[in-house]
Homo-oligomer: A and B are copies of this chain.
Amino acid sequence: MTSGLRERKKLATRQALHLAALQLVDERGLDEVSVDDIADRADVSPRTFFNYFPSKVDAVVGLDPSALQQQVEAFLGRPADESPVEAMRAVTREQAVEMAEDTELWPLRLKVIDAHPAILGRLAAAFGESERVLAGAIAERTGTRVGIDAYPTLLAGVAAAAMRTSLHRWFTGDFSAPLPDLVEETWDLLTAGLPAPH
């Protein structure tokens, strides 16, 4: 289908670097891990590290660069009779299902991120980037304009907040509750206009 040897090797190297970064930071903490350490464990030269990730924290976060585009396409591909909120909710639910399938990487990622605010910062930036792009897609679908109308930026931001909230609860509950269920609960709260609890 896609894969020559070259592409498989690249993917393997990328994953090795990400995993090495994740494990090392989990073991020692962010400041006690150098790029050289990560490159060593992944069996590549320090210089090669920077061919794969632009910075140390990026390697720890290790986000799939194609995920954002997939998210946008999934959103735009939702049935036309769904409201924007319904479509956005469906997309985040699908993401949750995929994340939950991975029983190793995401828990470790969340553990490390939770322990290191600096990494959380980079993650937040990624969410911000995602928000920008998503807002454009939402505007396209609803006929609103980013920056002029509140709707697209707000919905994108709210969707990101919903995902963050769900991930946080997933982590806090030691991954016992199914992530998609947590996502559903969160969206129920949102569409009800955030009624006070109790």
Contact = CB atoms under 8 A, between A and B. Distances in A.
Q: Which of A144, A160, A189, A192 has the most CB of B within 10 A?
A: A189
B148 A196 contact: no
Copies in the complex: 2
Contacts of A84: 194, 196
A44 interface: no
A185 B192 CA distance: 18
A121 B117 contact: no
Interface in A8-31: none
Interface in A142-198: 142-144, 146-151, 153-155, 157-158, 160-162, 164-166, 168-169, 171-173, 182, 185-186, 189-194, 196-198
A165 to B, nearest CB: 4
B147 A189 contact: no
A165 B190 CA distance: 17
A198 B193 CA distance: 19
Given A147-B169, A157-B162, 12 more contacts: A84-B196, A85-B193, A117-B125, A122-B125, A125-B125, A149-B169, A153-B169, A154-B162, A154-B194, A157-B164, A157-B165, A158-B194
11 contacts: A85-B194, A117-B129, A121-B121, A121-B122, A124-B128, A142-B196, A142-B198, A149-B197, A150-B185, A154-B161, A160-B161
Interface of A: 83-85, 117-118, 120-122, 124-125, 127-129, 142-144, 146-151, 153-155, 157-158, 160-162, 164-166, 168-169, 171-173, 182, 185-186, 189-194, 196-198
